[in-house]
């Protein structure tokens, strides 16, 4: 990873704890491949744990990496390797599995002033899965929506909520950092019929 050139559209957000953070708008293909390996390490196991598809294809991931409407907050370790990433956008049409109309209908004031954000994914390298890292990622990633007095949405599969329990850890981090607790907005159940 060391030595890969970063794109012009990078802002250094400084050192926070043991990680350095950047805001990336456009990620070059070589760097995107390294990020996809990190994404795959974090999300790949969900292929068999959730009925709804939870993992972007490499092409879908690459599209998000070059889409400047999708902001990428990246955590780097002391050896300049990416160990975490959070994506977010105000262009909800870039998130194919959600309905922008849902947000426009429920939050008309925020929608009118372009203050509805959506977290695409928050991922961490398995070596960094502890509360302090998650809290740092939240603190960096939530700055823009806080400044906007925005509404933020995100989704999580049942495995991450019930088994890990990543949902509670993320909710706790949001509450510690912002003073606001997430509220469950919607849900969907998937069913099977086994005729064997």
Q: What is the CATH number of the domain that holds 89?
A: 3.40.630.30
Domain of 36 in residue numbering reads as 10-178
Q: How many domains does the chain have?
A: 1
Share of the chain above pLDDT 90, in %: 57
CA–CA separation, 94 and 98 (whole Å): 9
| Tens digit of each residue's pLDDT (9 = 90 or more) over 88-115 | 999 999 988 899 999 999 999 999 999 9
Residue 4, in any domain of the structure:
no
Q: Is residue 141 part of a domain?
A: yes
- Residues near 102 by beta carbon (within 8 Å), at least 6 away in sequence: 186
Q: Hunting for tokens 């999708």 — which residue is that?
A: 70
pLDDT in tens, 134-190: 889 989 999 999 999 999 999 988 888 888 888 898 899 899 999 999 999 998 888
In a domain, 192, yes or no: no
């Amino acid at each position: 990873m060391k030595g890969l050139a970063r794109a012009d559209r990078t802002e250094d957000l400084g050192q926070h704890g043991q990680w350095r953070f950047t805001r990336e708008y456009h990620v070059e293909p070589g760097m995107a491949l390294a990020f996809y390996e990190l994404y795959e390490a974090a999300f790949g196991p969900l292929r068999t744990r959730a009925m709804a598809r939870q993992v972007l294809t490499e092409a879908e991931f690459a599209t998000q990496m070059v889409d400047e409407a999708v902001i990428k907050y990246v955590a780097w370790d002391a050896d300049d390797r990416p160990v975490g990433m959070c994506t977010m956008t105000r262009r909800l049409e870039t998130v194919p599995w959600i309905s922008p109309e849902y947000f426009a209908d429920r939050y008309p004031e925020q929608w009118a002033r372009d203050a509805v954000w959506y977290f695409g994914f928050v991922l961490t390298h398995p070596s960094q899965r502890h509360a302090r890292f998650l809290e740092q990622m939240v603190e960096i990633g939530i700055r823009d929506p806080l400044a906007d007095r925005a509404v933020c949405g995100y989704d999580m599969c049942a495995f991450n909520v019930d088994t890990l329990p990543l949902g509670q850890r993320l909710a706790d981090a949001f509450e510690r950092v912002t003073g606001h607790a997430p509220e469950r907005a919607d849900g969907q159940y998937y069913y099977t019929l086994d005729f064997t």
